Amino acid sequence: MKKKNYHYLPRETSWLEFNQRVLNRAFLESVPLLERVKFLAITASNLDEFIMVRFGGLTKVQRSTAEITDISGLDAGQQIELIRERVRAMQEQQIDCFNELLPLLAERGIRRLTENDLSDIQRDFLLSHFENEIVTSVAPIGIEDRSSPAFLNGLRLHVCVRIKNDDSKRLVPQQTPKDDEDDSDKDHRFVIVPLPRNLPRVWAVPTSEQYSFMLLEDIVGVFLNELFPGQEVLDWTPFRITRNGDVELDDEGDDARADLLQGMKAVIEARKTSDCVRLEISDQASDLTCQFLQGLLNVDEEDIYRLAGPLGLVDLFAISGLQGFQHLKDEPWPPHDVPDFARGADIFAAITQRDRLLHHPYQSYEPVVNFIRAAAEDDRVMAIKQTLYRTARDSGIAEALELAAANGKNVTCIVELKARFDEARNIEWAKRLEAAGVDVIYGVKGLKTHAKMCLVVRKEAAGIKRYMHFGTGNYNESTARLYGDVSLFTCDEQLGSDAVHLFNAITGLSVPQSMGKIAAAPIDLRETLMEYIQLETENAKQDNKGEIRIKLNSLVDREMIDALYEASQAGVKVLLNVRGICCLMPGRKGQSENVRVVSVVDRFLEHSRIFYFYHGGDEKMFISSADLMGRNLDRRVELLVPIEDRDCKNRLLKILSCYFNDSESATELKSDGSYTEVEVKKKKRIRSQQWLYEEAGQILKASTDPKTTVFQPHRPG
């Protein structure tokens, strides 16, 4: 059968459009001022990781002989060209946004100072800190041999100083320029000053206003003569480099378990010296300095970004988090409590009573921590099995696992050492858990364990009982306050049996037995989803109702997209809430007329994965750890867990429906890859995250005072 000629949006530009949607919120006057600053910082952080990983990976592909194209048919070179153009425009927009925010901040008592703004008192204050803290922390690097690039950390701010040559002021005489070097090199030399990471980028300065600050590089610039006494500074400029972060461990071989730990340490070190893929530099830098850095770092001209504003806008988190300016921030939305899961409550009795579905961060994440802590302290608990992908620095969950081991429980923890950029923290926790007596498994060879599950085995009067937590988000209390995720607590026998089989397969390096309810990647998750999509398609072809609703972070997998195209052509109504990358092209005649794609960007990061299928009226709902990407479906351990309890299903459907009725923070994807405001079809505008927060409050009110009449929020759709 001839394959249909479907069309797809480019993966990388789709991600950049997501970051643009985040940046757009920084321009919105309706967003509180410091929240706008935060959104600007988020876009800078996002872009740093994108350049490191995605752009860095493409440069490696371009240098190889592999003929690899993305889903839209673009090769590495074409993607690199598109990315450079789009990133350059985006960074210029970020600077424009910063310049727009500065006067607004000043009007409200938050003022950035430059050298010309300093009073004598402020100058003396900064000089004291410069001499006592900055000078003692920095270590200038004199560049003598340009053929040996200096060791410069990626994403770290540096200052490049051009100094007039004067051998009488040098401990080591200037080397004679090589034949291929410009004679002008005799007149000056370069010194690079890495700015220490342990010093704040934003320095508070005494002021009669509410808050004044100066950036670290500006302070260094003011007092350069103190750093290079008696020498003539010709010019100086801040710069910042991004190194290729697409460095991963090849664990397909027969390495021993200990070698994986050493291999991950080597990956962390390799990222520190990988190729420079982006040079950010002030647009005020001299051509000589720019040429010097380009040659030193061996970076292409196209990858030099000369910016008319501060570099490293990710450091603006320090401004967005200022205390005393709550009126410039979002109204606080403290997570609502869940009384049945409070510390000291009988959590196991609550789960036995019925399945419980929680929606974070609208509902507190403490129930997850309390569940594991209760298991650690309960005399009847025999064993705990847990996955950890990305966890908090001060993790109450990991501490509870240590306590459980100390209390004699059999504790097994699968710590994924290959969680990108969290490798060091996970290595630290793995060692600490091992020292506490926990049986630690370093993931699965050739796969990343991305599934989120905890299994508690308890000996009760009626026999052995299994209690589970399944989630869409990481076991990380810090990000759980910022990410939208779903938790399921259950003691369903079949789910418990499935969880045991899966844990045993991972720890025993074997193929899991067939599971009754859970679908797992890379075993049968892809096939299970395909079956449900195809069933909707077949029902629609028979003139029966077909409907699919999916919420996830990324939609890239070609097979899944093709299946959704075919469902649309059969008449299935397909509603997709895709936060980030979406390669599916909606609204295209003959291909996707019945597909609608929205993206919600608001104060919380949308992170949950939810799947709904009408299924001939017998509605099926699932939560998952997986996005619809090849890596999730084929190269990771992921879970698709059914939600069967009637109350849980109904609530999850309300949550899912809410997003498709958002007219405040949602945008809609068009077939050309652009996003537009959602057309308002109802008089009442809906902001999904606010609706969900209020809904969680109604649930708390009903649970604490069941006699009170509760006015439930109107169900969207």
On whether residue 717 sits in a domain, the answer given is no
- pLDDT, residue 506, reads 83
Q: Identify whether residues 288 and 372 lie together within a single domain.
A: no
Q: How many domains does the chain have?
A: 3
On whether residue 334 sits in a domain, the answer given is no
Q: Identify whether residues 310 and 363 lie together within a single domain.
A: no
In whole angstroms, give the CA distance from residue 266 to residue 188: 38
In whole angstroms, give the CA distance from residue 246 to residue 420: 9
Contact indicator for 228, 125 with CB cutoff of 8 Å: no
Q: Identify whether residues 659 and 676 lie together within a single domain.
A: yes
Secondary structure (H, E, C), 598-636: EEECCCCEECCEEEEECHHHCCEEEEECCCECHHHHHCE
**Which residues belong to the active site?**
450
* pTM attached to this predicted model: 0.91
Q: Shortest CA distance to 504 belongs to which of 463, 466, 473?
A: 466
- pLDDT, residue 254, reads 42
Report the CATH number that the domain containing residue 71 is assigned in CATH. 3.30.1840.10
Q: Which of 463, 483, 517 is the last residue of a domain?
A: 517
On whether residue 697 sits in a domain, the answer given is no
34's tokens: 């410091």
Within 8 A by CB and 6+ apart from 508, the residues are: none
Q: Which of 302, 328, 354 is the last residue of a domain?
A: 328
In whole angstroms, give the CA distance from residue 491 to residue 481: 26
Q: Identify whether residues 194 and 53 lie together within a single domain.
A: yes
The range of the structural domain enclosing residue 473 comes to 339-517
Q: Identify whether residues 457 and 558 lie together within a single domain.
A: no
In whole angstroms, give the CA distance from residue 699 to residue 703: 6
On whether residue 673 sits in a domain, the answer given is yes
pLDDT along the chain (717 residues), means of 10: 77 96 97 98 96 89 82 92 96 98 96 95 95 93 70 91 76 51 70 93 91 97 93 96 76 48 61 84 95 93 96 97 96 95 92 97 97 97 94 91 96 84 80 92 84 97 96 95 97 96 81 84 96 98 97 97 97 98 95 97 97 97 97 95 97 96 95 91 85 96 69 48
Within 8 A by CB and 6+ apart from 295, the residues are: 146
In whole angstroms, give the CA distance from residue 404 to residue 381: 9
127's tokens: 């000089």
Within 8 A by CB and 6+ apart from 276, the residues are: 154, 241, 242, 243, 244, 297, 298, 299, 303
Q: Identify whether residues 221 and 280 lie together within a single domain.
A: yes
On whether residue 561 sits in a domain, the answer given is yes
Q: Identify whether residues 561 and 607 lie together within a single domain.
A: yes
163's tokens: 């100094």
User: DSSP readout, 202-250?
Assistant: EEEE--SSSEEEEEHHHHHHHTHHHHSTTS-EEEEEEEEEEE-------
Q: Residue 440, class by beta-carbon neighbours within 10 Å (0-12 exposed, 13-18 middle, 19+ buried)?
A: buried
**Crossing angle (nearest 10°) for helices 396-406 and 366-377:** 10
Within 8 A by CB and 6+ apart from 152, the residues are: 158, 192, 194, 241, 297
Q: Identify whether residues 293 and 397 lie together within a single domain.
A: no
Q: Identify whether residues 536 and 473 lie together within a single domain.
A: no
Q: Identify whether residues 507 and 529 lie together within a single domain.
A: no
On whether residue 122 sits in a domain, the answer given is yes
Q: Specify the DSSP element, H or E, that contains 597.
A: strand 595-600
Q: Shortest CA distance to 453 belongs to which of 302, 624, 252, 245?
A: 624
Q: Identify whether residues 443 and 411 lie together within a single domain.
A: yes
Q: Which of 299, 328, 357 is the last residue of a domain?
A: 328
On whether residue 201 sits in a domain, the answer given is yes
Q: Shortest CA distance to 562 belongs to which of 603, 601, 529, 599?
A: 529
253's tokens: 């071989």
Q: Identify whether residues 311 and 418 lie together within a single domain.
A: no
On whether residue 691 sits in a domain, the answer given is no
Secondary structure (H, E, C), 645-667: CHHHHHHHHHHHHHHCCCCCCEE
Report the CATH number that the domain containing residue 564 is assigned in CATH. 3.30.870.10
